[in-house]
Structure 1
Amino acid sequence: MDYFIGVDVGTGSVRAALVAKNGKVAKAAVENLKTWNPQPDFYEQSSDDVWNCCKKVIKEVVKDIPINYVKGIGFDATCSLVVLNKDMKPLSASLEGTSEQNIILWMDHRAVKEANFINDLKHPVLRFVGGKVSLEMEIPKLLWLKTHLRQECWDQAGAFFDLPDFLTWKATGCDTRSLCSLVCKWNYEIQPDGAGQWNREYLLKIGLEDLVEDNFKKIGSIVIPPGTPVGNGLSAAVAKELGLNAGIPVGTSLIDAHAGGLGMIGCRADGILEEFHSKIGLICGTSTCHMAVSKDPVFCPGVWGPYYSAMVPNMWLNEGGQSATGKLIDFVIDSHPATTKIKEKSKERHIQNYLNDVLKDMAKRQNLPCVAFLTKELHIWPDFHGNRSPLADPSLKGMISGLTLSNDEENLAILYLATVQALSYGTKYIIESLVKSGHSAIKTILICGGLSKNSLFTQVQADVVNLPVVCPDEPESVLLGSAILGACAAGTFPDIRTAISSMGGTGKVIKPDSATIDFHARKYKVFLKMVEDQRLYRNIMDS
C-alpha cells in the first residue's frame, strides 16, 4: 500500500494527512499554532513552534501503519518570512526582541512605508506582481527589518526563508528554494525557457544590496520547481524523530494557497470542462486566494503575476486575493451583541449554520424567493484589512451602509449575509479584471478550505458570479496538493500534471440561481460605488 504525507502550515494551525495514491485522505491530524499580535498590524510566529507542530501531526497520521507504506512527503505553508541567525537558529524579527518570535506572518502589515517606497521606484520587475509589490510579500518585510532592526536582526541574520522552504530545509537539511515561493513572493524572475535569476539591479536599487553577497546565500541560490525531490530526502535525524525511514523523498514545497489550487484543478464534475485555463480556484481560509492559470502571460493591474510554472508546469499563474474573508466573517459575528446568546443556545452547532437557518426562516416569512433579497438595504465594502486585488490598496477600510438600532439575531444574520455577498462581489471584481486584461473566459469556480463547507457561501459565490461552483468531494484540497508534491518526488507519477489528473478526484456542482441575477447586478453597482465614495471622502478630508 502506497501513502503520501501532506503537511499544511496554515495561519492558525498545522495539519497533516495520510493520502492514498487515488487522492483519498485516509487520516488527518491538526495542531494549533501560537501567534503574537504585539501591536496593531504586527503578527508574528515561531519557527520552532511550527516545526514541533509538524512533527506532532506527522507522527499522529503514521502511527498505525507500517513505515514502509510511506513513499513521499510534501509540505506547503503560508508565505511568511522566517529569520535565522548565522548558526541557523531562530533570530528575533520582533520589536520585542524575543528570538521565539522569528516569523513575520503573511498578514503582517508593518511594512507600509517600505512597500510604498519600492512601488514609487516603478522598477520593471514589478510588472510581474500587477504593478505593485504587496506589503504582505517578503521584500518589503526584509527592507523593514533592515530599517528598524539593523543591529539586532539584520546584521546578525544568516538566512531568510519563505516558510514553505524552511520546512523542506528542516526535513532534509538541504538549502533549496521553491520556484513557487521565490517567483510569487520574492520578485525572483523566471523565463519560459526555465532560466531564473535574482534581479541584482533591483535589490541594489531598493537598498537590499546585502542580499546579493556570496551568490545570494541568505535568500537562496538553488531554486527548483515544486514537486522536485529535495536533496537526499528525509534526513536520518528527522526520520528517527518521526519514526520513519531515512531518505523518504521530500518534494519541493508550495505556498498553501497554491497547494490548494494544485489539489483542486484536476477535480472532475459533470458538465465541467477539463481545461485548466477555464477554471479559477478559490482557496478560502483566513484570507482567500484566487488562482487562475493561462497558456499565455496575462498582465492584470492589481492582480499578482503572471508567474511562469509557479503552480502548474508550463502555465502562467495569476493570483488574486482578499486579505480577510474567513477572518472578516468571524469578526462580524464575534463583534455582534447577539452572538453570545446564540452560542449558548446553539451549543455544539456551528454558528454560521445556525445563521443560515435564521435567514431561511426570515425569507420564508417574508415570502421571498430566496435569502439573497434580505439585504436589499444593507451594503458592505469588505476590505477591513485593505484590498489585495484588484485595487492593490492596503489602506482601504471596510464600509457598511444601512445599519439600524436593531441588535437581535436576525440583525446579525442579515449582516452576516451581506458580508458573504460582499466577499462574492470581490470575487466577481477579480474575475472581471482578469478577463478584461486578456485572460480567456472563466467557466467554473473551484472552492476549497473552511468556507467551502458553508452551503450559503458556495451558493452566493455561484449566484453573484453566475457560474457553476465545484466543491471537491475530498474537502482537504490543500493537504491533497502537498501530498501530490510528495508523490511526484517519489516518482509515482511521471510529472505533476499526471498526478493532478490521477489524484484530483470528483466534485459536487452548485449551479447559480437565475432568480438572483438582476438583484446581484444592482448590488454589485452599489459595491463599486462604495469604494469610489470612500476615496472621495478621503480626498475631502485630505484637502
Structure 2
Amino acid sequence: MPGGDQEPGSYYVGVDVGTGSVRAALVDQRGIILAFADQPINRWEPQFNHHEQSSEDIWAACCVVTKQVVQGIDVNQIRGLGFDATCSLVVLDKQFRPLPVNHEGQSHRNIIMWLDHRAVSQVHRINETKHHVLQCVGGVMSVEMQAPKLLWLKENLRETCWDKAGHFFDLPDFLSWKATGVTARSLCSLVCKWTYSAEKGWDDSFWKMVGLEDFVADNYSKIGNQVLPPGASLGNGLTPEAAKDLGLPAGIAVAASLIDAHAGGLGVIGADVRGYGLACEGQPVTSRLAVICGTSSCHMGISKDPIFVPGVWGPYFSAMVPGFWLNEGGQSVTGKLIDHMVQGHAAFPELQAKATARCQSVYAYLNSHLDLIKKARPVGFLTVDLHVWPDFHGNRSPLADLTLKGMVTGLKLSQDLDDLAILYLATVQAIAFGTRLIVEAMEAAGHSLSTLFLCGGLSKNHLFVQMHADITGMPVVLSQEVESVLVGAAILGACASGDFASVQMQ
C-alpha cells in the first residue's frame, strides 16, 4: 500500500470467502496481519459436477470471523472493510431472497459454485458462436464463467428460478451489497467472469446471440449496470444492520470487491523486495507472475499493453491493478487434486495415524518421509517411472479443454506408504509442470516473466514451492505475510477509507 495521511492506530478488515471456509484478518497500515480467524462453510453436491452453497450460510460465517478478529481492540479505529470471494454465482429474487439453483427446490442452496461443471452443453454452444468477446478469455469461454451457468438456469429451472430472479451476483459483489445495500458491481468480477469490457461496457450482440437477450431488455439491471473499480467506496459505508451482524461500526468504508485470486495477486505482486538480495530487485513489476495456490491455482501476470494469450484469460484492463492489463492462467482444483490422490490411496489410514502420532499434518509427514527414501539423489528423481496427468477436472489453461481427464502411468502392485509418498510427489510435480506450460504460453505471446511470487495455502508446503522452482527454472518469492489474499482484501478497505489514494503499488 502506498504512503498516505492515515491516522495512527488505524486498522482495516479483510474478509476472504474461499471454497471451503470464510477467513478474516485485522490488518494494520503496514499490511501486517494482527488477528486471523476462519470458519467452515457448507457445500452440497446433489449430483456429479453440481456444486452448490448458501449465501445466508456464507454471510453468517462472515459475521463469526469478523467478530473474532476485532476482539480486544477499539473498533472505532477500524477505518475500512474489503471483501474477496470465489467467482460463484448467487441468485436472489426481486426482494433479495434466495432462489434455488437445484431441481430439488432448496432455496437456501442459491449459489452455483465456481467449480460447478453442469453447464457443459451451454458453454459448447457459446463457444461455437465464436463471438468476438471470446478473444478476451483466451479464445474459449470456461464452463466456470457465469454466462453458461445463467443459460443453464434459463433452460433447466425456468419456473422455480429464472422467471423469479431479480438479481444475479458474483459472490464478491453479493458480499459488498449485503454490507452496504449498494448493488454496484466490481469491475474485477464483471470483466473477468461476465464478458464486460472496461472500455466498452456490455456487448448487446453477445447476450442476444447466446440466448440471454433478457438482460439487454432490462438494461442489465439483474447483472449490473453500475460498475466500480476495486477499492472504490460503496454508498454510505456499512449499514447499521450489517454493522450489528459483523461487530463493526456503522458507516465505516466498504470497498468494491475482488475475486479471491485477484485479491491474492494484489496482495503479493507489488511486494517490496528491496534489501533482500533477490534477483527480481530492480526489475519491473510486469516481470512477476503471482501464483495463488489453494483449492485451485491462478497465475496472474500484468502488462502495460494488452497481450492476447491463447488459452489464458484476458487481457482485462484494470481488473486487478489499476492501469495495467491482466492475464490470468489457471489450473482447476489443484489443492483438491492433491487431497484426492492422497486420501484415496490404500496407505492413507497408516499415513494419518503416523502423522497424528507426530503431531504433524499428513503433508508435513509425507515431505519428511520422501526425504527418508530419496537416498543420494534429489527427491525429484523418485518419480522417474511414475507420471501424473493432473487435469482430473478438465484443463483451464493453456489447453482450455474442459473435457480432459486425469491419468497416472507407472503404477505397481505395491500400495505401501512409500508408494503413497511418491504418488503425492508425482502429483505435485504435475501441477508444477502445468505452471511451466502456462508460463511458456504467456512468454510466447509477449510476456517477459522472471520470478514467481507464490501465496495461498499450498505456498506453505515447501515441497510444492521447491518443485515449482525446479520445474519452471525460475526463482520463487514467498510473501512475509502468507495470507496475501486477506492482505489484498484489507488493501481494498484501506483504499475505500480514503487513507490511501489507490490500491496501486508504489
CA distance in 2: counterparts of 1:494 and 1:44, whole angstroms = 38
2:224 to 204, 214, 220: 220
One-letter amino acid of the counterpart of residue 263, structure 1: G
2:100 touches 2:110 (CA, 8 Å); kept in 1? yes
Code of the aligned partner of 2:234: V
What is the TM-score of this pair, normalised by structure 1?
Answer: 0.89
Quote the Cα distance in structure 1 between the aligned partners of 2:333 and 2:249. 40
Q: Where in structure 2 are the equivalents of 1:386-425 lying within 5 Å?
A: 386-425=394-433
Once the two structures are superposed, the pairs formed by residues 91-490 of structure 1 within 5 Å of their partners are 91-191=99-199, 196-269=200-273, 270-271=277-278, 272-273=280-281, 274-347=283-356, 348-364=359-375, 367-368=376-377, 370-439=378-447, 441-490=448-497
Aligned AA (2:469): A
Deviation at 1:202, TM superposition (A): 0.7
Q: State the alpha-carbon separation in 2 of the partners of residues 283 and 460 from structure 1.
A: 15
Alignment of 1:484-523 (within 5 A): 484-497=491-504, 500-501=505-506
- Partner amino acid, structure 1, of 2:29: K
Equivalent in 9, 27, 48 of residue 56 of structure 2: 48
CA RMSD of aligned residues (A): 0.9
- Note the alpha carbon deviations across 1:213-233, whole angstroms, 9 max, x for none: 332110011001000001111
**CA offsets 1:106-163 (integer angstroms, 9 cap, x no match):** 0000000000000000000100000011100001000000011111110010000000
CA deviation map 1:436-464 (0-9, x unaligned)? 1112x201001111110000000110010
CA contact (8 A) 2:15 2:489 kept: yes
- Aligned counterparts of 1:470 and 1:186: Cα–Cα separation in 2: 32
SS of 1:300's equivalent? coil
Name the aligned partner's letter for residue 478 of structure 1. V
Which protein has the bigger helix share? 1
Structure 2, unmatched stretches of 5+, are 1-8
User: C-alpha displacement at 1:242, in angstroms?
Assistant: 2.8
The alignment-based identity, stated in percent, is: 56
How many residues align? The count is 491
C-alpha separation in 2, matches of 1:310 and 1:241:
30
2:43 matched to 1:39? no
Q: Find the residue that maps to 1:496 and give its secondary structure.
A: coil
Q: Which residue of 2 aligns with 1:87?
A: 95
User: Take 2:355 and 2:213, find their aligned partners in 1: how far apart are those partners?
Assistant: 57
- 8 Å CA contact retained: 2:62, 2:246: no
Matched AA of 1:133: M
Which position in structure 2 is the counterpart of 1:17? 25
Using the TM superposition, give the Cα deviation of residue 363 of structure 1 relative to its aligned residue in structure 2, in angstroms.
1.3
Measure how far apart 1:275 and its partner are.
1.9
**What is the rounded CA distance, in whole Å, between the counterparts of 1:332 and 1:240 in structure 2?**
43
Instruction: State the SS of the aligned residue for 2:446.
Output: coil
Structure 1 position 357, deviation (Å): 1.1
Runs of 4+ displaced beyond 6 Å: none
1:189 alignment partner, SS class = coil
Maintained 8 Å contact 2:11/2:79: yes
The residue that corresponds to 1:73 in the other structure is 81
Per the alignment, residue 531 of structure 1 pairs with none
Query: What is the distance in 2 between the residues matched to 1:8 and 1:66?
Result: 22
CA distance in 2, matches of 1:417, 1:244: 44
Give the deviation of 1:240 after TM superposition: 2.6
Cα distance in 2 for residues equivalent to 1:132 and 1:421: 27
**One-letter identity of the residue aligned with 2:254:** V
Task: Report the secondary structure of 2:477's partner residue.
Answer: strand
CA drift of 1:324 comes to 1.6
CA displacement, residues 15-69 of structure 1 (integer Å, 9 cap, x when unaligned)? 0000000011000110100000111100000000011111111111112111111
1:237-271 C-alpha deviation (Å, 9 max, x unpaired): 11133332211000110000000000001223332
Aligned-partner Cα distance in 2 for 1:244–1:118: 43
Unaligned runs of 5+ in 1: 502-543
Please give the alpha-carbon distance, in whole angstroms, between the structure 2 residues aligned to 1:241 and 1:456: 41
